[in-house]
A and B are shown apart, each in its own frame.
Chain A
Amino acid sequence: MDRRTFIKDSVITGAALAGAAASAGFFERARPTTEAVAGTVRDVPLRPPGALVEEAYVQRCTRCMRCIDACPNQALLPLDATFGKQLEGTPAMKPRRQACMLCAKIDGDFLKCGEACPTGAIVKIRKDEATVLSEVRIGIARIDHELCYSYNNWSCGACIRACPFEGKAMTAGMWERPEVHEEFCIGCGLCERACIRYPQAIRVVAGKVSAEIGGRE
Chain B
Amino acid sequence: MTRNQKKHVLIQVLRHCCQLLVLAVMVGTVYLSLYAHYHAARALEDEQFTRGFQGKVLLAIDDVIAPMDNPQPLLDSFKGTLWSLRFAGFDLTDPLAAAEVIAGSKTFYAPLLISIVLPVLLALVLGRVYCSWMCPAGLLFELSDKIRRVLPFAEIKPGQVKFSHGNKYVFLATGLAFTAVVGLPVLGHIYPPAVMSRLAHGLIYGTAIAGTITILVVMMAFEIAVSPRWWCRTMCPGGALFGLLGWIRPVRIRLDAKRCTGCRDCEVVCPMGLDPVKQSYGIECDNCALCLKSCGEDALIYAIGLPGRKRAYIRQRPAPRVSLLHKVGDSIRKRRRPIASITAVIVLLAANATAYAHHILGLPHYSYKENYPQVPTLEYPASTGPYDIVMTSYPGVPTPGEAANVAFYIRNRETDVPFGSPVTVRVLQTATFGRNKTILHETRIEPLDKTHKLSVTFPEDGEFIVELTVDVEGQPEVIPFLMVAGQPTATTSILAAIGGGLVVFIITIRAIKIKARRRRLIGQSANEQLAGRAPVTA
Q: Which residues of A contact B (CB under 8 A)?
A: 1, 5, 8-9, 11-13, 15-26, 37, 39-42, 55-56, 58-60, 62-66, 68-74, 77-82, 85-86, 88-89, 94, 96-98, 107, 116, 118-120, 146-147, 152, 198-199
User: Which residues of chain A come closer than 8 Å to B84, judged between CB atoms?
Assistant: 62, 64, 66, 118-119
A108, B535: Cα distance in complex, Å: 99
Residue of A nearest to B108 (CB): A120
Question: In the complex, given contacts A9-B164, A23-B186, A71-B37, what are 19 additional A-B residue pairs having Cβ atoms less than 8 angstroms apart?
Answer: A11-B342, A12-B234, A13-B170, A16-B235, A19-B352, A20-B175, A23-B215, A26-B186, A39-B411, A40-B413, A65-B198, A74-B41, A77-B205, A78-B202, A78-B205, A82-B362, A82-B363, A107-B72, A119-B84
User: Which residues of chain A come closer than 8 Å to B175, judged between CB atoms?
Assistant: 17, 20
A80 close to B411 (CB less than 8 A):
no
User: Which residues of chain B come closer than 8 Å to A199, judged between CB atoms?
Assistant: 379, 390, 392, 407, 409, 451
A-B contact pairs, 6 of them (CB 8 A): A9-B167, A40-B411, A69-B33, A70-B79, A78-B201, A81-B359
A13 close to B379 (CB less than 8 A):
no
User: Which residues of chain B come closer than 8 Å to A152, judged between CB atoms?
Assistant: 449
Nearest-CB distance from A178 to chain B (Å)? 18
User: Which residues of chain B come closer than 8 Å to A198, judged between CB atoms?
Assistant: 377, 392, 394, 405, 407, 451
Q: How many residues of B contact A (CB 8 A)?
A: 98
A132, B409: Cα distance in complex, Å: 34
Contact A66 B184, CB 8 Å, known A9-B163, A60-B105, A82-B363: no
User: Which residues of chain B come closer than 8 Å to A15, judged between CB atoms?
Assistant: 345, 348
Contact A66 B80, CB 8 Å, known A16-B171, A82-B363: yes
User: Which residues of chain A come closer than 8 Å to B413, judged between CB atoms?
Assistant: 37, 40
User: Which residues of chain A come closer than 8 Å to B367, judged between CB atoms?
Assistant: 77, 80
B235 close to A8 (CB less than 8 A):
no
Nearest-CB distance from A195 to chain B (Å)? 11
Which of B93, B342, B417, B449 touches A118 (beta carbons < 8 Å)? B93
Which of B81, B164, B182 touches A5 (beta carbons < 8 Å)? B164
Query: Is B208 an interface residue, CB under 8 A from the partner?
Result: yes
Residue of B nearest to A198 (CB): B392
A69 close to B360 (CB less than 8 A):
no
B81 close to A65 (CB less than 8 A):
yes
A8, B340: Cα distance in complex, Å: 12
B90-122 CB contact bits vs A (8 Å, 1 = yes)? 010100011011001101010110010000000
User: Which residues of chain B come closer than 8 Å to A146, judged between CB atoms?
Assistant: 411, 416-418, 450
A146, B388: Cα distance in complex, Å: 14
Residue of A nearest to B187 (CB): A20
User: Which residues of chain A come closer than 8 Å to B418, judged between CB atoms?
Assistant: 146
B207 close to A42 (CB less than 8 A):
no
Within 8 A of A (CB), among B344-359: 345, 348-349, 352-353, 356, 359
Which of B190, B198, B342, B364 touches A16 (beta carbons < 8 Å)? B190
B198 close to A119 (CB less than 8 A):
no
User: Which residues of chain A come closer than 8 Å to B194, judged between CB atoms?
Assistant: 63
Which of A21, A39, A97, A116 touches B178 (beta carbons < 8 Å)? A21
User: Which residues of chain B come closer than 8 Å to A20, judged between CB atoms?
Assistant: 175, 186-187, 189-190
A21 close to B186 (CB less than 8 A):
yes
Residue of A nearest to B91 (CB): A118
